[in-house]
Chain A
Amino acid sequence: SLEVPFPSSREAVIALRSLSPDREPRKGGISKQLTVSGSTLSWSADEARILRVSVNSFLDHLSLVLETMEMFGSPVSQ
């Protein structure tokens, strides 16, 4: 699995909710999980092979979300 630390849990949750909606449902059930624990986002799967195929696009997406956060401000407090 891949673990990404964030400055706060709020940012980790924003990243989770931005990245989650488009994850493709694969035949034979869910093969990858994206979860947040504290301020850490983790991306995991039962088999490394499954992560390997999609690691490029996952990292592209993650870095775009991080850049967006950096440029467009600290999250507003709820």
Chain B
Amino acid sequence: MPVVIGFEGSANKIGIGIIRDGEVLSNPRRTYITPPGQGFMPSDTARHHRAVILTVLKEALEQAGLKPADIDCVAYTKGPGMGAPLVTVALVARTVAQLWGKPLLGVNHCIGHIEMGRLITKANNPTVLYVSGGNTQVIAYSEQRYRIFGETIDIAVGNCLDRFARVIKISNDPSPGYNIEQMAKKGSHFVELPYTVKGMDVSFSGILSYIEETVFSMLVEITERAMAHCGSQEVLIVGGVGCNLRLQEMMGVMCKERGAKLFATDERFCIDNGAMIAQAGWEMFRSGQVTELEDSWITQRYRTDEVEVTWRD
């Protein structure tokens, strides 16, 4: 019964979670929220993470009711992500692994999302749509790899929405994507005509629903194509944008037409969190993987298909 603690901090969330055999024992998280119109910069984000990481670690252990001695493996995000925040989290993971005499395990962030989604939804072999602020990928498993079937050729879908939110100064609390979703709900009327000027006033909610509908339709289309390629009857949506209900609804319509099943998780697990790193780490650790300290460097670029999946048939 391995117990794995997972450290995640590749973007503006810092989370530490503990998993024991598929059970989430704790999963505290903090978000670095910037003022409207401002994105999060690497050094400020790292400073935020440094300030709270030890408190979050304490919470993770307390909520799980565990002592360091009960932990079997320390997993952390190796990449991809922003360099300075990744280093911050890796430093603490390396130090506690040495203090507690436990093996260390570097985890690919995207694999963390996939394994957490599979654990929570019990989807067996789904076509995965991974959508977040930094990533947009359609992924399917084949022969010891999560293969990327399609991906964005420039910015991630979440980045697209975040940047738009920044331009028109939508609040970043709790997240720009959530606020866009709420505003877009009210704006369906303007879909046909996103350019909306009324006297001296402008309306943006119509543009937001227009943006949402357009980018989400694109994602549904590439997911459907990947399903057809693989003969897959399951879709799993992971990543921060994955908790958008409109995206889930649109994907659900496509799945229904194909007689396929849709799986998605709520914001506890689809937004970056520590338990997802613990869960992927748990699978990796059980299949015999560990990361030596000298190999524990972080990397800003780390593709999903670089990882050999040693824990699946």
Contact = CB atoms under 8 A, between A and B. Distances in A.
Contact of A22 (B68, B100, B298): B298
Interface residues of A, number: 23
Contacts, number: 70
Nearest to A74: B99
B58 interface: yes
Contacts of A71: 54, 58
Given A22-B298, A73-B99, 6 more contacts: A20-B294, A21-B296, A61-B88, A64-B88, A64-B92, A78-B101
B250 interface: no
Contacts of B20: none
A76 interface: yes
B50 A18 contact: no
Interface string A51-70: 00000010011001101110
A76 B91 contact: no
Interface of B: 46-47, 50, 53-54, 57-58, 68, 84, 87-88, 90-92, 94-96, 98-101, 293-298
Contact of A21 (B92, B94, B96): B94
Contacts of B100: 72-73, 76
| Shortest beta-carbon contacts, A-B, top 9 | A18-B94, A21-B297, A68-B95, A14-B98, A76-B101, A18-B95, A21-B296, A17-B293, A68-B92
Interface in A18-38: 18-22
Contacts of B293: 17-18, 20-21
A68 B52 CA distance: 12
B299 to A, nearest CB: 10
Contact of B98 (A17, A61, A64): A17
A22 B90 contact: yes
Contacts of B95: 14-15, 18, 65, 68-69, 72
Contacts of B50: 60, 64
A18 B91 contact: yes
A75 interface: yes
A73 B57 CA distance: 13
Contacts of B46: 60
A15 B91 CA distance: 9
B294 A21 contact: yes
Contacts of B92: 64-65, 68
Contacts of B296: 21
A15 B217 CA distance: 50
Contacts of A65: 91-92, 95
Contact of A14 (B47, B88, B90, B99): B99
B96 to A, nearest CB: 5
B253 to A, nearest CB: 46
Given A21-B94, A60-B50, A76 B294 contact: no
A55 B101 CA distance: 30
Query: Most B CB atoms within 10 A — which of A61, A64, A65, A73?
Result: A64
